[in-house]
């Protein structure tokens, strides 16, 4: 074990003493991702699980550590965890499986950084087994598969994933997978005064529920400048209020591709839900 790992294990002990069990567990998971067969790290995992009230899992880790190095697990701890796993009342605030997902994703990311895609994929598989609709885990799983040469399957996995739904820190994997230039998704466009005036009128009409008048303004604005995101957003609202939910959703996605922050997230989710109902 190198000096860095020893320092991190000391940090784990400190975090446990400070009762920051989640923090300690995250550090241990990172260490385990790099050294899955290190008895001292596995024992540290047992300590974390014990502190969080997951006695069965703690005993499993303690026994694994003992099998690798019989001296690494103190007898007192082992006897105590055997008793807790067999007889003690479980803590009602035991960490839920879903609360482990951020730590699992982080471990997987660390392995991606080392280009160990097979190992990384196992973490993302685990996260999806816990929460099947976790977008970030799905994107990372697809990224690993793509990196392992399974490009077609990888793209099929994220075919229905919208860039807008992905947490910012995971966008880099999706963008690389889909061949998106991140700079193209950043808004850097100055509106013409005529376009701004037309959009102001259009949104005013929307507030008065004069939808057709509003749409006419946005259409004129788009003819003046098809690269301006504001009339695209306006059109999305108009189409939604007119009941054309699928078309409204397409306009939302178009606007997002022009400027990630152009569409209100609540409106986006509402439009998507309605569009899915129609389908």
The string of pLDDT tens digits covering residues 165-187 is 788 889 899 989 888 765 555 55
pLDDT, residue 146, reads: 94
Mean pLDDT of 221-248: 94
Q: How far are the Cα atoms of 26, 69, 99, 191, 266 from residue 79, in angstroms, in the given order?
A: 26, 17, 28, 71, 53
> Would the pTM of this model clear 0.85, i.e. be above it?
no
- Cα torsion through 31, 86, 91, 62, rounded to 10: -10
CATH code linked to domain 193-278: 1.25.40.10
Q: How far are the Cα atoms of 140, 141, 161, 198, 213 from residue 134, in angstroms, in the given order?
A: 10, 11, 11, 40, 41
> Tens digits of per-residue pLDDT, 237-277?
999 999 999 999 999 988 887 887 788 877 888 898 888 88
pLDDT, residue 268, reads: 87
**Contact at 8 Å (CB) between 103 and 94?**
no
**Contact at 8 Å (CB) between 43 and 70?**
no
How many other C-beta atoms can be found within 10 angstroms of the C-beta atom of residue 263?
Answer: 23
pLDDT, residue 161, reads: 83
Q: Is 60 exceeded by the pLDDT of residue 278?
A: yes
Express as a percent the part of the chain with pLDDT over 70. Answer: 91
> Tens digits of per-residue pLDDT, 127-144?
999 888 899 999 999 999
C-alpha–C-alpha distance, residues 276 and 268, integer Å = 12
C-alpha–C-alpha distance, residues 89 and 94, integer Å = 11
**Contact at 8 Å (CB) between 119 and 107?**
no
Q: Which CATH architecture has domain 98-185?
A: Alpha Horseshoe (1.25)
> Tens digits of per-residue pLDDT, 86-141?
775 444 343 467 888 999 999 999 999 999 999 999 999 999 998 888 999 999 99
Mean pLDDT of 196-205: 95
pLDDT, residue 92, reads: 39
Q: How far are the Cα atoms of 4, 67, 80, 221 from residue 195, in angstroms, in the given order?
A: 58, 72, 72, 5
Q: Which CATH architecture has domain 3-86?
A: Alpha Horseshoe (1.25)
Ranges of CATH 1.25.40.10 domains, the chain: 3-86, 98-185, 193-278
Using pLDDT thresholds of 50, 70 and 90, give the confidence band for residue 3: low
DSSP state of 136: H
pLDDT, residue 97, reads: 78
């Amino acid at each position: 074990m190198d000096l860095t790992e020893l320092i991190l294990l000391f940090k784990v002990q400190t975090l446990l003493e400070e009762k920051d069990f989640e923090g300690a567990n995250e550090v241990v998971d990172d260490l385990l991702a790099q050294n899955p067969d290190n008895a001292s790290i596995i024992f540290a995992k047992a300590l974390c699980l014990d502190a969080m009230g997951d006695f069965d899992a703690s005993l499993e880790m303690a026994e694994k550590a003992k099998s690798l190095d019989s001296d690494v697990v103190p007898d007192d701890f082992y006897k105590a965890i055997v008793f807790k796993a067999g007889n003690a009342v479980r803590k009602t605030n035991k960490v839920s499986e879903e609360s482990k997902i951020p730590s699992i994703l982080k471990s997987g990311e660390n392995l991606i950084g080392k280009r160990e895609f097979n190992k990384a994929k196992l973490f993302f598989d685990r996260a999806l087994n816990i929460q099947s609709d976790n977008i970030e885990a799905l994107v990372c799983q697809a990224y690993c598969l793509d990196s392992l040469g399974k490009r077609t399957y990888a793209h099929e996995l994220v075919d229905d994933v919208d860039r807008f739904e992905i947490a910012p820190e995971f966008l880099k994997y999706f963008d690389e997978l889909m061949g998106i230039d991140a700079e193209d998704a950043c808004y850097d466009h100055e509106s013409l005064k005529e376009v701004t005036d037309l959009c102001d009128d259009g949104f005013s009409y929307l507030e008065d529920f004069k939808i057709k008048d509003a749409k006419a303004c946005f259409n004129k604005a788009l003819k003046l400048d098809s690269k301006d995101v504001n009339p695209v957003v306006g059109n999305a609202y108009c189409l939604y209020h007119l009941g054309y939910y699928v078309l409204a959703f397409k306009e939302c996605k178009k606007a997002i591709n022009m400027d990630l922050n152009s569409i209100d997230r609540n409106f986006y989710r509402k439009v998507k839900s309605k569009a899915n109902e129609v389908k």
